[in-house]
Structure 1
Amino acid sequence: MKITNIRIITPYKDFLGTIEIERGIIRRVIEGKEEGEDMKGLIAVPGLIDIHTHGIGGYDFTSWNSEEEFLNNLTKMKEEYIKHGVTTFLPTTVTLPKEVLLEACKAVGKVQDDSIPGMHLEGPFISEKYAGAQDIRYIRAPDLSEVKQCMELSRNKVKTITLAPEKGLEFIDSLVALGIHVSIGHTDADYEIASRAFLLGADRTTHIFNAMRPLHHRDPGVILATINFSPFVEVIPDFIHVDKELIKFLIKVVGEDRLVSVTDSIMAAGLGDGEYSLGKMSITVKGGRALTKFGKLAGSTLTMDKAFVNLASLAGLQAAVKMTSYNPARAIGLSDRGVIMPGKRADLVLLDEKLRIVKVFVKGEEVEVSKY
């Protein structure tokens, strides 16, 4: 298959060209028009990648009663993500009782779909003070044996664990040795502890500014340590969790090569206002804001295509591609996707001039995208 006469956005260049696909892989990317399916007026970007999401379209990763229901929910979730241009995602847990977390890991181990390459455990080894919408009853001390059980049951699909480093800096080395990406978050860490965490191998920060010790001129804390040392930095670009002017500041200071757009979405994403849940917690969505009964933000209703549009409005298309595809792939070690270039998976999203999704390809196969 060959698509041509299309504007191609890569982290390196923005040009009119041709993409040739063979057996699910991009074989050629060249400038200029050739024989093929003419895509005049459309824009090609890599499939979007969400490495921190709890749910979408009425489905929640941690609300199910059987393994069969879980697998069915995941299939439905994938369909919803694709509508929004997401071709790879990491289902993300919240802090749960140990037995429920192990069940979730076991269920992920049954998934045979490389669009779902693993999972993200957001907890349970986090700070009670900065738990956010998570249930503090299930927060616990770092436990390597529990993590090893999670890895075994998931068939080594635990890609990321969000950790409060003040709970135990020595734990970071053990997680890294297991091949897990450690993301610092839901934390009361001061600057020294957070800095040491990154130097010990933590390579990401979970949704910067949210659920962490705030920045103060006499107490720079985890936020300045993140800006100085974190290889990758998650941000939720819904302009609710973080003001758009501050996101512009992050793009300037942290740089578009380190920022990772995530949605932190809950089951309400893609739906309207109403009553929903996150794990075992009741959530009310009003005006697009997801809130607990105490008024705390509880995940988001953001979808990744909207995140892309928001970031493009601040920094342009190439920067948006980096933050929604290229950087998320690198942040979890997926070297086969996230960029339009030869040898990569043919996961593509075609947009119109207003950045609305027109077509989605997963491994070179067009997927039906219904209007929503």
Structure 2
Amino acid sequence: MFFTFFSILNVVKLVNGRIITPYREIQGNIEIENGRIKRIYEGNDYGENLDGLAVVPGFIDIHIHGIRGYDYTSWDNKDDFIKNAFGMKKSLLEHGVTTFLPTTVTMPKENLIEACKAIGEITDLSIEGIHLEGPFISEKHAGAQDVRYIRVPDINEVKECFQYSKGKLRTITIAPEKDLDFVSKLWNLGIYPSIGHTDADYETGVRAFLLGANRTTHLFNGMKEFHHRDPGIILASLNYSRYIEIISDFIHINKEVIRFLISQFGVNRFVAITDAISATDLGDGEYSLGKTRITVKNGIAMTSNGKLAGSTLTMDRAFRNLANIVGLQNASLMCSYNPAKSIGLEDRGVIEVGKRADLVVLDEKMNVKKVYVNGEEVI
């Protein structure tokens, strides 16, 4: 008697696409097996014909508070946080975002714990952890964050959050001048420290990056301004930070500044984020960010005292803005590969053999036409 053992493979072929890799652009095909990229090759083949449209890695947003009425900043229990995380996911997929970190703002400890509990219960391919933006930040540069809940760095509170998140607390934005040793403590827990909402001077910033901080939160925004006699955290970031967040809505940073930064420092360090709030995709009106009331007018989110309060940017628009400055390949690095690397996600963010098949198909105007997560078409 003979027995035949075999496995049923889930094989998908996307053919005749303009494939954007970090190395070169290929007119050809992608073969996907069991959710992973098995082969990238030129020539003709049979499969799902993309008609020459561009294929880029799924966008990764590691700093986003909300979208389309859903947010991750103002709930009292984990069930509401879970509901909002999945609401965000559904909306973000339409914009080509295949991985994101729901991002909190500074809020009471009990709310922060509930947010982390929610992440700990979520097992979803697109929701790979949580970003805590605060509460260990500078009162002077709090921006739209509620200063009532800013507190001194407390590693025990972080350990609680890390435990409740089941190890999915990926990154925390901190002000290093409050406690430089806190940077090392976060790094030793396996959390990526990001420097932001800070009044740190140049030397403090340099020391923070040398101690393990690997990212700067939304450069130029929420930090001490650059001065030629007091360069502060901005120059420390440009000199020493491995990764630097950029909000490419051309409101938070002028596009010519972005062009200059990339020309001088290269594209590999810059991470595109949206910093989007719940007003995104909903239009002008009154909204909230955590406990703070926000007014959106002409797409610009502001507090009552005139401070920028996140954005209404979407990642597909961020990609288009960047592509118009630095081209498709560089925009793809900033919107996919660099964000993944900055928080230790080595299995995605690039069209490469062995990587997860999270892909976005764009038309000639760079609008999202199709989205694949783990090789499955979801949009």
The aligned counterpart of 1:202 is 213
1:115 to 101, 120, 126: 126
2:140 to 99, 118, 129: 129
3-state SS of paired residue (1:269): coil
Is 1:249 matched up with 2:255? Answer: no
Is the radius of gyration larger for structure 1 or structure 2? Answer: 2
1:17 to 18, 28, 32: 28
1:214 to 225, 234, 241: 225
3-state SS of paired residue (1:175): helix
2:269 to 239, 242, 258: 258
3-state SS of paired residue (1:324): helix
The aligned counterpart of 1:290 is 301
2:49 to 38, 47, 53: 38
Is 1:325 matched up with 2:339? Answer: no
Task: Report the Cα distance in structure 1 between the residues aligned to 2:139 and 2:231, rounded to whole angstroms.
Answer: 20
Instruction: Describe how 1:21-100 pairs up with structure 2 within 5 A.
Output: 21-100=32-111
The aligned counterpart of 1:316 is 327
1:175 to 186, 191, 212: 186
Q: TM (normalized to structure 2)?
A: 0.96
Is 1:238 matched up with 2:249? Answer: yes
Is 1:223 matched up with 2:234? Answer: yes
Task: Report the Cα distance in structure 1 between the residues aligned to 2:44 and 2:119, rounded to whole angstroms.
Answer: 43
How big is the shift at 1:65? 4.3
Is 1:302 matched up with 2:313? Answer: yes
Q: Which moved more, 1:348-357 or 1:31-40?
A: 31-40
Note if contact 1:3-1:38 (Cα within 8 Å) is conserved in structure 2: yes
How big is the shift at 1:67? 2.7
3-state SS of paired residue (2:319): helix
Q: TM (normalized to structure 1)?
A: 0.97
The aligned counterpart of 2:8 is none
Note if contact 2:247-2:273 (Cα within 8 Å) is conserved in structure 1: yes
Q: Deviations over 1:282-337 (max 9, x none)?
A: 11100010001111000000000000000000000000000000000000000000
Task: Report the Cα distance in structure 1 between the residues aligned to 2:202 and 2:155, rounded to whole angstroms.
Answer: 25
Task: Report the Cα distance in structure 1 between the residues aligned to 2:188 and 2:307, rounded to whole angstroms.
Answer: 35
Note if contact 2:76-2:111 (Cα within 8 Å) is conserved in structure 1: no
Q: Which amino acid aligns with 1:320?
A: A
Task: Report the Cα distance in structure 2 between the residues aligned to 1:29 and 1:265, rounded to whole angstroms.
Answer: 34
Q: Deviations over 1:217-264 (max 9, x none)?
A: 001110111111000000100000001111111111221100000000
Is 1:156 matched up with 2:139? Answer: no
Note if contact 2:77-2:114 (Cα within 8 Å) is conserved in structure 1: no
Q: For structure 1, list consecutive stretches of 5 or more residues without a partner in the other structure.
A: none
Task: Report the Cα distance in structure 2 between the residues aligned to 1:133 and 1:93, rounded to whole angstroms.
Answer: 12
Instruction: Describe how 1:1-16 pairs up with structure 2 within 5 A.
Output: 1-16=12-27
Task: Report the Cα distance in structure 2 between the residues aligned to 1:341 and 1:83, rounded to whole angstroms.
Answer: 23
The aligned counterpart of 2:363 is 352
Task: Report the Cα distance in structure 1 between the residues aligned to 2:341 and 2:77, rounded to whole angstroms.
Answer: 33
Q: Which amino acid aligns with 2:114?
A: E
Note if contact 1:41-1:353 (Cα within 8 Å) is conserved in structure 2: no
The aligned counterpart of 2:375 is 364
3-state SS of paired residue (1:261): strand
The aligned counterpart of 1:191 is 202
3-state SS of paired residue (2:148): helix
Q: For structure 2, list consecutive stretches of 5 or more residues without a partner in the other structure.
A: 1-11
Q: Deviations over 1:112-143 (max 9, x none)?
A: 11311110010011000000000011111110
Once superposed, which parts of structure 1, at least 4 consecutive aligned residues long, lie more than 4 Å away? none
Q: Percent identity?
A: 63
Note if contact 2:81-2:114 (Cα within 8 Å) is conserved in structure 1: no
Q: Which moved more, 1:4-13 or 1:61-70?
A: 61-70
Task: Report the Cα distance in structure 1 between the residues aligned to 2:282 and 2:22, rounded to whole angstroms.
Answer: 31
3-state SS of paired residue (2:62): strand
Please provide the CA RMSD for this pair. 0.9
Q: Deviations over 1:32-68 (max 9, x none)?
A: 2222222113110000000000001111112334433
3-state SS of paired residue (2:220): coil
How big is the shift at 1:73? 1.8
Task: Report the Cα distance in structure 2 between the residues aligned to 1:182 and 1:157, rounded to whole angstroms.
Answer: 14
Task: Report the Cα distance in structure 2 between the residues aligned to 1:352 and 1:333, rounded to whole angstroms.
Answer: 30
